[in-house]
Amino acid sequence: MSAIEPPTERTCERCGRVEEWDEDQQTFVAASDDSLGQPHCLHEWDINGQYNPLQESES
C-alpha cells in the first residue's frame, strides 16, 4: 500500500500472451515460446488501466 512499482509482468486479456519485463532490453518480452499469443492481436494488457496514460480521457 506504499510505493507504486511498475509491473514486471503483463497478460493479454484477448489472446492470453504473457510477457515479462527484460531489464537488459528494457522492454517486455514473451515469457515463453508457448505464451506468444496471436501475432495480429491488438493485445489488451491487464495492466493498461493503471499503467497506460494514453488511456486517460477527461473530456
Residue by residue, what is the 3-state secondary structure of 6-26? CCCEEEECCCCCEEEEECCCC
Which residues, in sequence order, are CB contacts of 2 under 8 Å at separation 6+? none
Q: Is 36 in the site for Zn ion (CB under 5 A)?
A: no
Q: Stretches 19-27, 28-36, 39-47, 51-59: which one binds Zn ion (CB under 5 A)?
A: 39-47
Integer-rounded Cα radius of gyration of the chain:
13
Q: What minimum distance in Å lies between the beta carbon of 48 and Zn ion?
A: 12
Which of 31, 43, 45, 46 forms a contact with Zn ion (CB under 5 A)? Answer: 43
Q: Is 10 in the site for Zn ion (CB under 5 A)?
A: no
